[in-house]
């Protein structure tokens, strides 16, 4: 299968690229700069010029692919129009083809969960990701125009020393305490980077059209527990410091969400399972030990 990955140079996109390649698929990544092109070429990924902010630049590559994955994730209050326009353009280019499109969303679209949220839970997104929820709905409705649309909703992505959890490590090294947004009693749904890549590959191969899949591991740690593990791993002896969510604006509202999320659908329908390594394990004893302050 030929898979086009829009956002292949990113933290999530590179994991999808690695997983697809490991399963014998041919991947093509979009690059909007010479730096991005060189990065993809260095890991052996075929490259096409393309920029989500200029969606017409994607059309030729989209039409040539068996499957398209959109994992740019620029959706926030300032840049949501980029994703919306790009996905609309992709949908028009793929209409009637019965080929596969996967949109990488986020469990944040559920807002604060009531109990454990599965894919049928009410969508109540904070303002920061409200347009992401709109793209979810657009993608799931693509079956009506002859596109096999799927949505994957990952929790906080961790691994390889990167992603949002790296902020805990950086603050611990810089200020001898991991900074927590709010009291830290809220729970985070999380997913390992490699586990997410494998799940996206399985969705492409045998996911049900018009279906959403949550991508989360089997743990539900509080933010304080996660931050304390990062602090220990960074040599700050578990110390943490609290800042008000307001200091980060709408993004802070997302970090303060209390979420418990189920990935039972992916396990039952696709035979997927996350690795036993948790975000706490990874922060305290894994890849974050060598992470550098940006």
Residue-wise pLDDT for 244-269, tens only, equals 888 889 999 999 999 999 999 999 99
Distance CA 219, CA 49 (A): 39
CATH number for 117? 3.40.50.720
Q: Are residues 92 and 143 in the same domain?
A: yes
Q: Mark whether 153 and 185 lie in a shared domain.
A: no
Indicate whether 121 and 236 sit together in one domain: no
Residues 67-108 have pLDDT tens digits of 999 999 654 555 678 999 999 999 999 999 999 999 999 999
Residues 67 and 151 occupy one common structural domain: yes
Q: What is the pLDDT of residues 19-31, one digit of tens each?
A: 999 999 999 999 9
Which band of pLDDT confidence, cut at 50, 70 and 90, is reported for residue 294?
very low
In this structure, the answer to whether residues 223 and 141 fall within a common structural domain is no
Residue 293 has pLDDT above 70, yes or no: no
Q: Is residue 227 part of a domain?
A: yes
Please tell me whether residues 209 and 256 are part of one structural domain. no
Q: Is residue 271 part of a domain?
A: no
Which of 142-156, 213-227, 234-248 has the least mean pLDDT? 234-248
Residue 269 domain-assigned?
A: no
57 in the same domain as 20: yes
What is the rounded average pLDDT for all residues in the chain? 95
User: Of 80 and 174, which is predicted with more confidence?
Assistant: 174
Is 62 contained in some domain? Answer: yes
* Domain assignment present for 283: yes
Residues 139 and 54 in one domain: yes
pLDDT score, position 235? 96
Residue 270: inside a domain: no
Mean pLDDT for the stretch of residues 125-133: 92
266 domain-assigned: no
Number of folded domains in the chain? 2
**Is residue 58 assigned to a domain?**
yes
Would you say residue 114 has pLDDT above 60? yes
Please tell me whether residues 252 and 150 are part of one structural domain.
Answer: no
pLDDT of residue 81: 82
The predicted pLDDT at position 245 comes to 83
| Residue 237, domain extent | 162-189+218-261+277-290
CATH of the domain at 247: 3.90.25
pLDDT value for 74: 59
> What's the pLDDT tens digit per position in 215-227?
999 999 999 999 9
> What confidence score (pLDDT) does residue 291 get?
66
Shared-domain flag, residues 68 and 140? yes
Sign of CA dihedral 188, 194, 196, 199: negative
Q: What is the 3-state secondary structure (H, E, C) of the chain?
A: CEEEEECCCCHHHHHHHHHHHHCCCEEEEEECCHHHHHHHHHCCCEEEECECCEHHHHHHHHHHCCEEEECCCCCCCCCHHHHHHHHHHHHHHHCCCCCEEEEECCHHHHCCCCCCECCCCCCCCCHHHHHHHHHHHHHHHHHHHCCEEEEEEECEEECCCCCCCHHHHHHHHHHCCEEEECCCCCECCEEEHHHHHHHHHHHHHHCCCCEEEEECCCCCCEHHHHHHHHHHHCCCCCCEEEECHHHHHHHHHHHCCCCCECCHHHHHHHCCCCCCCCHHHHHHHCHHHHCCCC
Domain match, 29 and 144 both: yes
Residues 81 and 57 in one domain: yes
């Amino acid at each position: 299968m030929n898979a086009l990955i829009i956002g292949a140079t990113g933290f999530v996109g590179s994991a999808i690229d690695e997983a697809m390649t490991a399963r014998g698929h041919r991947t093509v990544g979009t690059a909007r700069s010479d730096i991005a092109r060189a990065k993809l070429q260095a890991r052996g990924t075929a490259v096409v010029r393309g920029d989500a902010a200029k969606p017409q630049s994607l059309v030729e590559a989209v039409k040539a692919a068996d499957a398209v994955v959109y994992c740019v994730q620029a959706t926030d209050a300032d840049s949501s129009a980029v994703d919306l326009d790009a996905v609309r353009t992709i949908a028009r280019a793929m209409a009637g083809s019965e080929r596969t499109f996967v949109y990488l969303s986020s469990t944040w679209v559920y807002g604060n969960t009531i109990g454990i949220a599965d894919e049928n839970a009410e969508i109540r997104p904070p303002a920061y990701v409200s347009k992401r929820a709109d793209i979810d709905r657009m993608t799931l409705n693509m079956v009506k125009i002859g596109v096999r649309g799927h949505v994957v909703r990952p929790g906080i992505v961790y691994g390889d020393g990167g992603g949002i959890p790296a902020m805990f490590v950086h603050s611990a090294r810089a200020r001898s305490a991991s900074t927590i947004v709010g009291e830290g009693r809220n729970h985070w749904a999380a997913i390992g980077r490699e586990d997410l890549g494998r799940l996206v590959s399985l969705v492409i191969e045998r996911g049900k059209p018009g279906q959403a899949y949550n991508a989360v591991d089997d743990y539900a740690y509080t933010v304080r527990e996660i931050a304390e593990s990062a602090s220990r791993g960074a040599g700050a002896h578990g110390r943490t410091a609290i800042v008000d969510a307001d200091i980060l604006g709408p993004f802070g509202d997302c970090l303060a969400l209390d979420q418990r999320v189920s990935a039972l659908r992916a396990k039952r329908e696709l035979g997927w399972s996350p690795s036993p390594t948790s975000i706490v394990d990874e922060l305290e004893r894994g890849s974050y030990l060598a992470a550098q302050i940006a």
